[in-house]
Amino acid sequence: MTRARITPVAEGTQTKKRVDTEFIRNQLKELTPEQFVNHHILDRVPDIFVDRVQYVEWKGELARGLDVDPYSLLVVGSSCVGVSLSPKKLFNRFHRGSDIDVAIVSSYHFDIAWRWLRSLGPAQNMVMTDFERDMFKWHRNNLIFDGTIATEQLLSHLPFGAKWTSALGKARTRNPTRGHEVKARIYRDFESLRSYHEKNIRKLKIELSTSGTTGGLRTTASN
């Protein structure tokens, strides 16, 4: 079996070239889901940062506000890859209206959030919007299997919500994420984080191969 060629992402320059969408398309075709996730999502300096120093400093500041270890934070999504890998927004470039997606690996916060979700009763549900109630039901039915909690619609209700909301808000006032909404998703462990992204890349590769298209090269819209 011939090993797929993995092309490294350039780092360390103060002016980074815009991400090559054709390059990402080819890497999706050539690499296994594990390889793509390793090299383009989990083990790299995200595209929005000019170098590793800026990335490490940014993570350190956010981690202090969230009360987690900086090593447990990873910037993912279109701000990492440079383009969206969402099937509905495939290959849209990261732009000024895009969100910053942060993966937070913390069994401690995952367990707190999960216990809170399990303990909710009718009284708490009454103060939620319809969308928040739908998100709550989705989490109860799925997160125990996925090991993940998408906090953007539930964060204000979680026990640590006020602290995290403040920290994420401050992150949008610092470069290079200034002006972008910063959203967090909690993962129970690194296995859950990897599994989530590999599953998405696997589904994307299947969709691309069966449709015979790459989804088009759109350059606007959110990640």
Question: What percent of the residues of the chain are helix, what percent strand, and what percent coil, each to the nearest 5?
Answer: 50, 10, 40
| pLDDT digits (tens), the chain, 223 positions | 444 555 545 444 344 567 888 899 899 999 999 999 999 999 999 999 999 999 999 999 999 999 999 999 999 999 999 999 987 788 899 999 999 999 999 999 999 988 887 776 544 554 556 655 666 666 556 555 678 888 877 898 899 999 999 999 999 999 999 999 999 999 999 999 999 999 999 999 988 888 754 444 333 333 4
β-bridge partners, 103: 74, 185
Q: Name residue 129's amino acid.
A: T
Question: In the chain, which ranges are E strands?
Answer: 73-76, 100-105, 148-150, 182-187
88 and 216 in contact (C-beta within 8 Å)?
no
Give dist(CA 201, CA 41) in Å, integer. Answer: 11
Kindly report the CA angle at 35 between 34 and 39, in degrees rounded to 5?
A: 120
Structure tokens at 135: 């998100």
89 and 223 in contact (C-beta within 8 Å)?
yes
